[in-house]
Amino acid sequence: MTEQRNPIWDPNGSPRAPWDVRRPQPAIQALVEAGGFSGRVLDVGCGYGENALCIAASGLHVTGYDLDREALDWAKDRADERGLRDRTRFLRFDARRLINLAGDTPYETVLDSLVFHSYKTPARRARHVAGLGTVLAPGGRLHVLCYSDQHVGPPDPPHTVSLAAIREAFADGWTVDEVRETTSISNLAPDGVASWLVTCSRSTGSTGSSRSIPYREES
């Protein structure tokens, strides 16, 4: 029954990483279709590149950063196969060094799909978010897909994030425009993993602010 609901589930196990689902995250695909991406796009921790390729297929130029050479090579090969090489760059870059890119070409949209939640302490999340802010153009948007503490296992995902942690991470210098409850797909979770899809922008003004987070159910 669960296999019908999630055909990527292989009950015999798979050598693939849990996130190597060979298709974009449905929440990201829906965001692309809703016009949530614009301008130059950076996909931080792009993995096997399916989200980046989905965004590129909509006509945008996308750069993907990751540390995993095998995943980057896979993404480049898929870009070639799909005729997307001209609109994609997949580069080995450590997201922990984003903060050093200040002054480099900023991106109008930045995507963090399933990376933010792996930073387990407020200080590490704050540093990661500061790096994301460094590469976001003024007026740009940041989308973060992360596992939610509302998920009910088994299986229990290795990382989850609460709304309070999201508020805290984006309290300084950001406006949280929206948080949606959604589901991420994973090779380890046949029913998916309850997740948050957060959209933020840099606050104007010197002190920054965050406002109350509206809930919107995904249709």
Closest to 115 (Cα-Cα) out of 131, 95, 92, 91: 95
Cβ-based nearer residue to ligand SAM, 42 or 166: 42
List the one residue from 36, 47, 157, 190 that touches ligand SAM (CB under 6 A). 47
> CA triplet 169, 119, 136: central angle to 5 degrees?
55
Stretch that binds ligand SAM, among 43-51, 79-87, 160-168, 170-178 (CB under 6 A): 43-51
66 binds ligand SAM (CB under 6 A): yes
Closest to 19 (Cα-Cα) out of 61, 74, 83: 74
What residues does 198 pair with on adjacent strands?
A: 144, 179
Tokens of 49: 């590149």
Smallest gap from residue 203 Cβ to ligand SAM (A)? 25
65 binds ligand SAM (CB under 6 A): yes
List the one residue from 8, 23, 58, 68 that touches ligand SAM (CB under 6 A). 68
C-alpha 22: how far from chain center: 15
Q: What is the dihedral of CA 147, 148, 149, 154, to 10 degrees?
A: -60
62 binds ligand SAM (CB under 6 A): no
Q: What is the DSSP letter of 27?
A: H
88 binds ligand SAM (CB under 6 A): no
67 binds ligand SAM (CB under 6 A): yes
71 binds ligand SAM (CB under 6 A): yes
Range 109-168, binding ligand SAM (CB under 6 A): 113-115
Stretch that binds ligand SAM, among 44-52, 77-85, 132-140, 191-199 (CB under 6 A): 44-52
- Under rule CB under 6 A, how many of the chain's residues touch ligand SAM? 17
Q: What are phi and psi of 202, to 5 degrees?
A: -70, 135
C-alpha 69: how far from chain center: 19
CA distance 155 to 144: 22
Smallest gap from residue 16 Cβ to ligand SAM (A)? 11
The binding site for ligand SAM (CB under 6 A) comprises 19, 25, 45-47, 51, 65-68, 71, 94-96, 113-115
